[in-house]
Structure 1
Amino acid sequence: MDITDFYETFFEEAEELLADMERHLLELDVDDPDSEQLNAIFRAAHSIKGGAGTFGFDVLQKTTHLFENLLDHARNGELALRRDIVDTFLETKDMLNDQLDAYRNGDEPDQEAFERICKILQQLALEEIGKGLEAAGGDMPQPDAGAKSEPPSQPAEPETGAEASGDPAAGTGASNDGRRVVALLGVGEKDRELLVEELGQLGEVIEHHGDEKRYEVVMESTVSDDDIEAVMCFIIDAEQLEIRAPGKPGERPATGDAAGDEEKAAQEAEPAATPKGAAGAASDEPPPASEAKGDGKPKPAAKSTDKPKAKAKAGSESTSIRVSVDKVDQIINLVGELIITQSMLDQTVSELEGPANGNLVNGMSLLQRNARDLQESVMSIRMIPMDFVFSRFPRVVRETAGKLGKEIELVTEGAATELDKSLTERIIDPLTHLVRNSLDHGIEPPEVREAAGKPRTGKLTLSAKHQGGNIIIEVIDDGAGLNREKLLEKARESGLNVSDTMSDDDVWQLIFAPGFSTAKEVTDVSGRGVGMDVVKRNIQGMGGSVQIMSKPGEGTTIRIVLPLTLAILDGMSIKVGSEMFILPLSAVLESLQPAKEDIYAMAGDDVVLKVRDEYLPVVAVHEALDVADARTELTETIAVIVQGEGRRYALLVDDLVGQQQVVVKNLETNYRKVPGVSAATILGDGSVALILDITGLHRLSRQKKEARRPKSATRSLESVTDNEMETSS
């Protein structure tokens, strides 16, 4: 059996475990940590360590081994959590992600980064575990030279075996006076020096000698063997450590509990097992606290095997399966081809006449309905909840707010709203930039908010909801809002063509101009003038648009409108000349026949159409796309009112053919990028129709008009006021 066949499964499961780990770490209350959350974090690290050891991913295994030990102390109450310790845990989780990615790409993880994180974890253990042990077992007085320490009082435990005899050293490797020998096996000189120094913190070192193969330290201490072992195993592995009473080298006294020795021997089967709970290393469940401390009897084997059998029986019918995304994409492509074939047959049947074809027509109607149900079912497989996206942002908000010195409350709404998997992966980066921008520029510092009569803690809301065939994602902050005058001033300094008569919506859109930034200084959060233009471009590349709403002193809302999927869409077929085009149905608002009195000519050859007291830019599709034999008289065309990027346009077409479901084919992949066109599809008669990009079509139309007119006559349509329109009529 080739074990590499299981690599991808391990990588996917490890990613899910790391995501769960981060979520639990961010939700932890450091003052009163939830034991279930700590156990869940421990289990995640333990599972990853086990898989890494199985597949030979040594660096990943060693890192998770150190991390798991710290988590074990935290869940046993021996490590008092603080915010900075949780930050270290989050940093470790990020390092585990990097190591996982390296192995996934067939590379070795960064050795320098690995050594750095190991040093951080070891240092944290050596500094904090001793404090936790003192807190758990009372004061730990350091013995004076030549003096013998009295054993500290311990909580009453059930008396078993040698412990019932009243011997205080029974059950440990220590003699009656607390003296024991700690042997270090195969430990280099540098680590030996560090370990001897740490042993000196746990008691009095009497003498030490030996070589790299075996180095023995004789010491007196009131600390238990388990606690000495726990501290040492942050630097060396469990099999490199041996603790015994003074006597023959390698000899360890009987503890009165043979099962404990069997547990120790069982650790050899998994070198990276947690030294304080080998039983926990043999399963995905954390060992009980008593077993982890080494002071409780393991359960009989018969009982430990009964439970897994019961679980296996209850879960014999799995409710889910793991399927490759490539396989799902292949099914979606086949369903798309089926829909195209069904459209071809439907068009052929529609041309047949006579009652003899009634059964065929009924059969085609049934096929059409079944094909649509099949398409919706297959598409639902690719739909995943927005929680996949939103779960990334508690960490982003926590770290960014910390850098900015702000207090932020993050609220998520509509996390169960579903979106196509390909879109969720592509929306994460743009959304991250918008969130960081809101935290930096939107929400004020606590003292400024307090002076303005607001709560010190700012509120950032991420919401998602369905609207028709689209999903609406909003980033809402309760900050100071956008400053119109400041934006216009900065735009003029940047050489942008602006005017004081611009609408608020147009002014807000200025923040998406390339290189535009109102930050007074560059920080590692923002201020370089890059990013917002890329955000808009990426969202447009997904067939979406960005809208901005803002009120001074109340906050800003950035709204992203995306199609639910990029594979299949509902469209409206339009005809221009002899060419057929598709408009996304979600962008179509209405259609009408233009009346002469509603058409207004502007400077140059610009034309606007008045629709219920609103003046809309007119885009003649035949002019923008150079279509021959199209109607040129405006009153003979049909105006389709569409919306793109929060603005409305009037598209002039020859005819409306009808609504239909079309399969989206990527034009850029199969041909090249075409201005004004977002994709293509195959119609029922086998011909290719282009799917129009509303905003791109308007941009293309303006570019062609600008190229035709003299420069002196160039005038921005956006700067024309309603009064000027009335005058020109």
Structure 2
Amino acid sequence: MSGIDLSQFHEVFFEESFEGLGVLESGLLNLDVSAPDANLINNMFRAAHSIKGGAATFGFQQVAEFTHGLESLLDDIRSHACEINDDLVQNLLSSVDRLRNILSAARAGEVLDERIPIAVSTPPGEQATVPQEDASGSVAAPSSTSQTWNIDFVPAAHLFLGGHDPFRMFRELKNLGELVVRAGCDKLPKLDQFNPENCYLMWQLTLTTDAPRAEIEEVFEWIDDEASITLTPVAEEQDVLSAGTEADTGAESPASEPVAILQETPGVGVADTDPAGSSVITQSFAHAEVTSIRVNIERVDQLVNLVGELVITQSMLTRCKEATTREEMEILTRGIERLEENTRELQEHTMRIRMLPIDTVFQRLPRLVRDVSRNLGKDVELIISGAQTEVDKTVLERITDPLTHLIRNSLDHGIEQSSVREVAGKPSRGKIEVKAYHEGGSIVLEVTDDGAGLNKRRILDKAIASGLITAVEELSDAQIHNLIFGAGFSTAEHLSEVSGRGVGMDVVKNNIEQLGGTIQVESEEGVGSRFIIKLPLTLAIIEGQLVRVGDDIFVIPLLNIIESTRVSQQLYGNIAGGTETYRLQDDYIRMVHLRDLYNIRSDYEKASDAIMVITNATEVFGILVDEVLGQQQVVVKSLETNFKLIPTVSGATILGDGTVAMILDVVNLYRASVEVA
């Protein structure tokens, strides 16, 4: 390989392969078996072909062989050699799942069973198989009159730009007889000079066939202007297989050793001829997972330009660090203003690099709805909007499970059976809508269904039986709905594979709160339910409200704040047990003193002298402080590395004057105040 280490490209291959799986899955879910879309089938075929080609190039033979079977069947479908039906689509989806497992294993440096049956089928009711070529297959067996040809194929660098695929040509040659392919890598450049759109490989082919020269040349007609092709007959007939073996021990040839013997392996793939090669590939992944992110080059260019601006500003400030004259002071002031502007832009563009469209999560939902609704015997339509809404990569990775559970919950508990819906005057087909959008500095996710809605009476009865509330408590609709987020809470009358074990909604809520977000539920019995999730766009920098209590500064995430107000004596009161409350419109909310929680001094003596920041987490409540200092963006610093975890603090930040301010975890702050009381 001329010193080129292909393992450095493995992660890119896996990322692109998993994207290809998404194309396959989405295409199968959108495929109308009664009137299949040719473009959709072609897109799926290209996705499978790309995965197979990449796997063969990087030596992941198991992936290449499995995908070859998938590709072959898709090719049969698009050429109308295979009839499409629901069973075939379901089996293809199962094959996509199997391929995902094989890719995941390869990424982790593991190998699954050597020969994995491919779960695709032909006519419904028959066991799924993929066409495999054998001695009686379509490959032409050379006879005693066969001629052996050496073919030197050197493509132009721009070969791929014309949409040409050498492997298609190799398959055509394979149909003419026995074919050995050797890849030459002498033109591979160094990594910093590598252009993925260029073709750097050359091939030496050895073909033994009964076909005349003209028929062989026809294979190259489509690429004749894009490559140098030399066709030379071998004077003395020889066995192609032994020729490949002798090449291993003989004089060094212009090309590498044979990478594939096409009669033995279905399709064309790249195999390591060294038995030890597979272990090398496996070992290369036996390490900690490396996370990566693909970035648009325009965003990188913006960062480079901003860094250049910072260098200019730094040079300007260096000249004026000992400014004495008025003119020098003006230059210094302009430099500081420019530095502030550049820093703000650099921060914004850096954050955008971590942003990815939430479509990477949403594209999994159609398959989920299809499978679960079929399992439950329900007819459900999924509507997705806002798929291109961008969110931080970390948030994206951790929101998948909560969102999945909400969808499953709507399918199981929300959407009714078609017969029940028709009796209620609803369309027989249920509807689940998932949407994402930006709101201020947050991303909002909504999951809405037109199902039965939450049964308040059943929730109350279950909560009373579980001891969560007493029979005499009066709760608002919102408080009743929030009871479903209690640990182990479930109103399901029967357990199912989908839900009903009471280990879901509390986990959903906890996972969202760990991301600094909130979840609310709105529901009307007989009409449907809506779950609203609010999350920060990024976990690295947050918009915060700075508040002071005595000599200490705290940051309250702006996402959790409803309003700030002076405490009115007329609206202040106590309830049994001494808990301080405040009347907010028609409800009474709990009041929390930071000075009591953290045992610090405050300027105010009584609550009516304080300022209350009203927040919304598990419940609406008020935080009493001496002063509201203003809003600003703060960089979140973790405390867990060096300090014992404090449940009510999510992190810290360093302010402009060097002061360290604690960032409050509003959700756990409320819980702590309840426990103290």
TM-score bracket for the superposition, by shorter chain length: 0.7 to 0.9
Shift in CA distance, 325/262, structure 1 to aligned 2, threshold 3 Å: closer
- Which residue is 1:103 aligned to? 106
Which residue of structure 2 aligns with residue 304 of structure 1? 223
| 1:610 is aligned to 2:583 | yes
Which residue matches 2:9?
6
Asked if 2 retains the 8 angstrom alpha-carbon contact of 1:512 and 1:532, the reply is yes
2:62 is aligned with 1:34? no
> When the two structures are superposed, what TM-score results if normalisation uses the length of structure 2?
0.73
Tell me which of 117, 132, 137 is aligned to 1:235: 132
Residues 88 and 124, structure 2, Cα contact 8 Å, conserved in 1? no
> In structure 1, what is the equivalent of residue 254 of structure 2?
none
User: Does 2:439 align with 1:436?
Assistant: no
Call closer, same or farther: CA 1:110–1:253 in 2, change over 3 Å: closer
1:491–1:89 distance in 2 versus 1, CA, 3 Å: same
**Aligned partner (choices 527, 533, 542) of residue 500 of structure 2:** 527
Greater Cα offset, 75-84 or 551-560 = 75-84
- Residue 577 (structure 1) aligns with: 550
- Which residue identity does 1:371 align to in structure 2? T
The Cα shift of 1:395 comes to 0.2
Asked if residue 269 in structure 1 is aligned to residue 181 in structure 2, the reply is: yes
Q: Of Structure 1 and Structure 2, which has the larger fraction of its residues in helix?
A: 1
Q: Displacement of 1:575 after TM fit?
A: 0.9
User: Deviation per CA, 1:27-66, whole angstroms, max 9, x where unpaired?
Assistant: 1111111111111111111221122222222221221121
Task: Indicate the structure (1 or 2) with the bigger Cα radius of gyration.
Answer: 1
Match of 1:379 in 2: 351
The answer as to 2:543 corresponding to 1:540 is no
Q: Which residue of 1 aligns with 2:540?
A: 567
The 1-side partners of 2:147 and 2:224 are apart by: 30
Residue ranges of structure 2 left out of the alignment (5+ in a row): 149-170, 184-200, 203-214, 229-290
Residue 93 of structure 1 deviates from its aligned partner by 0.7
Aligned to 2:22, which of 19, 24, 27? 19
Q: Which residue of 2 aligns with 1:659?
A: 631
Percent sequence identity is: 41
Q: Distance in 2 between matches of 1:353 and 1:632?
A: 48
- Asked if the contact 2:379–2:429 (Cα under 8 Å) also holds between the matched residues in 1, the reply is yes
Change (3 A) 1:49 1:303: closer
- Report the Cα distance in structure 2 between the residues aligned to 1:234 and 1:543, rounded to whole angstroms: 52
Once superposed, what is the RMSD of the aligned Cα atoms?
3.8
1:83-482 equivalences under 5 Å are 83-111=86-114, 115=116, 117-118=117-118, 120-121=119-120, 234-236=131-133, 264-265=176-177, 268-269=180-181, 301=220, 303-304=222-223, 324-325=292-293, 357-482=329-454
1:489 matched residue in structure 2: 461
Are the equivalent residues in 1 in contact too, given 2:121–2:127 (CA < 8 A)? no
Output one character per residue of 1:276-302: Cα deviation in whole Å (capped at 9) or x when no partner: xxxxxx99xxxxxxxxxxxx9986746
Q: Please report the TM-score for the alignment, with normalisation by the length of structure 1.
A: 0.68
Task: Determine the C-alpha separation between the residues in 1 that align with 2:568 and 2:126.
Answer: 82
Instruction: Determine the C-alpha separation between the residues in 2 that align with 1:539 and 1:25.
Output: 32
Instruction: Report if aligned partners of 2:172, 2:219 keep a CA contact under 8 Å in 1.
Output: no
Q: Which residue type is aligned with residue 556 of structure 2?
A: L
- Partner SS for 2:8: helix
Kept after mapping to 1: 8 A contact 2:29/2:366 = yes
Shift of 1:265: 4.7
2:670 to 698, 706, 723: 698
2:660 pairs with 1:688: yes
- Quote how far apart the aligned CAs of 1:498 are: 4.1
Change (3 A) 1:308 1:388: farther
CA 1:504–1:52 in structure 2 vs 1: closer, same or farther (change >3 Å)?
A: same
Query: Could you tell me whether the CA contact under 8 Å between 2:82 and 2:122 is conserved in 1?
Result: no
Post-superposition shift, 1:415?
1.4
Please give the per-residue CA displacement for 1:114-163, whole angstroms capped at 9, x wherever unaligned: 53x33x4477699599xxxxxxxxxxxxxxxxxxxxxxxxxxxxxxxxxx
CA distance in structure 2 between the aligned counterparts of 1:59 and 1:641, rounded to whole angstroms: 58
Distance 1:250 1:454 in 2: 74
Between 1:535-544 and 1:590-599, the stretch displaced more is 590-599
Q: CA deviation at 1:266?
A: 7.7
Per-residue deviation, residues 530-578 of structure 1 (Å, max 9, x unmatched): 1211111000000001100000110000111101111111212111121
CA contact 1:384–1:420 (8 Å) conserved in 2: yes
- CA distance in 2 between counterparts of 1:249 and 1:569 reads 74
- Aligned pairs, number: 546
Q: State whether structure 2 residue 531 is matched by structure 1 residue 558.
A: yes
Q: Would you say the 8 A contact 1:417–1:466 is kept in 2?
A: yes
Verify the 8 A CA contact 2:564 2:611 in the aligned structure 1: yes
1:635 alignment partner, one of 605, 608, 612: 608
Give the distance between the partners of 1:443 and 1:585, measured in 2 at CA. Answer: 35
Which of 586, 589, 599 is the aligned partner of 2:562?
589
